[in-house]
Amino acid sequence: MKKQFLGNSGLQVSEIGFGCMSLPTDLQEASFIIEEALSHGINYFDTADLYNKGTNEELVGQALKKHRNNIVLATKVGNEWDKNSDEVKWNATKPYITEQVHHSLRRLQTDYIDLYQLHGGMISDNAEETIDAFETLKKEGLIRAYGISSIRPNVIKRFLETSDIASIMMQYSLLDRRPEEFLEPIGAAGKSVVTRGSLAKGLLTNEGLKRAETMDGYLTYSSDELKNTLKKLLDVHGNLHALSLHSVLEQDTVASVVAGASSAQQIRDTISAYETDVSAEQIEQAKQLTKEDRYEQHRD
């Protein structure tokens, strides 16, 4: 498994990362899947305090405790659960972030977080205060680096210009190429992108056509457009899973594709796809068949 530097943080992350959100809630099952990921060289594990009201962090912390020195552990902050309901409100204030990091550290059973990410962001936030919170945590040694998880162009632009973020997590796939307009400036600023949604809800796997039959399109693709596009992509490369992973990883700015898994077999399928050869010509052909959409909202 190849590793890439995460921005200017000094952290090296595996090109396939593990998105922990879909882990089963049973510790034994979750640990088995995580051990499978580790056995294939995955060292980057991404969770959030939002997932199952912190239970996911607890599972991940317990399962990775004995591997702590050999992994890059990432979590997120900014979504505040209402104590008496399932409602969530956005909170990017310094007092909230500096309080919540201690809860995440306790649940993750660690003294520090490698990558602490703002789990969203709005242009109306007091970004200076948010950035100060992360910088303070870095100075205190509670986090090694920080980043944002956002698809909003105006938020991304502001953090690129005013902060020392290491990375931006963005939804990016052959079926969602909206981030491509930002990849060059992000890379030029010395930052990295880590991706989510790169398998497009399973559409960009070898089960893609079957899944498309049960879906009413995807983003700007109508149902018919989606099925026709997937068929054409399969003509380019018989392993759609491999084509989708390598089409994202061929971008220099992308350090890691964060892929979820709810079973050990799903990990094995992703690793098999990662290890399958895909040529530059095939990637170019795939891009000729897919839309170059752009974000229309949150630009100012």
Residue 210 domain-assigned (yes or no): no
Q: What is the chain's alpha carbon radius of gyration, rounded to the nearest angstrom?
A: 19
How many domains does the chain fold into? Answer: 1
Residue 287 domain-assigned (yes or no): no
Active-site entry in 51, 146, 172, 221: 51
Residue 219 domain-assigned (yes or no): no
Residue 82 domain-assigned (yes or no): yes
Residue 221 domain-assigned (yes or no): no
Task: Return d(Cα 70, Cα 148) in angstroms, integer.
Answer: 23
Residue 261 domain-assigned (yes or no): yes
Q: Mind listing the pLDDT tens digit of every residue in the chain (300 residues)?
A: 999 999 999 999 999 999 998 999 999 999 999 999 999 999 999 998 877 777 889 999 999 999 999 999 999 998 777 777 778 887 899 999 999 999 999 999 999 999 999 988 778 788 899 999 999 999 999 999 999 998 889 999 999 999 999 999 999 999 999 999 999 999 999 999 999 999 999 999 999 999 999 999 999 999 999 999 999 999 999 999 999 999 999 999 999 999 999 999 999 999 999 999 999 999 999 999 999 999 888 887
pLDDT at 139: 97
pLDDT at 31: 95
Q: Say whether 172 is catalytic.
A: no
Nearest 5°: CA angle at 89, between 84 and 94?
110
The full 3-state SS of 123-184, as one line of letters, equals: CCCCHHHHHHHHHHHHHCCCEEEEEEECCCHHHHHHHHHHCCCCEEEEECECCECCCHHHHH
Query: What is this structure's pTM?
Result: 0.94
- The tokens describing 254, both together, are 């992308």
Domain limits for position 151:
3-199+244-278
Quote the DSSP letter at residue 118: E
Q: Which residue pairs from 210-216 have beta carbons closer than 8 angstroms and sit at least 24 positions apart in sequence?
A: none
Non-local CB neighbours of 246 within 8 Å, separated by 6+ positions: 274, 278, 283
CATH code for the domain of 254: 3.20.20.100
Residue 225 domain-assigned (yes or no): no
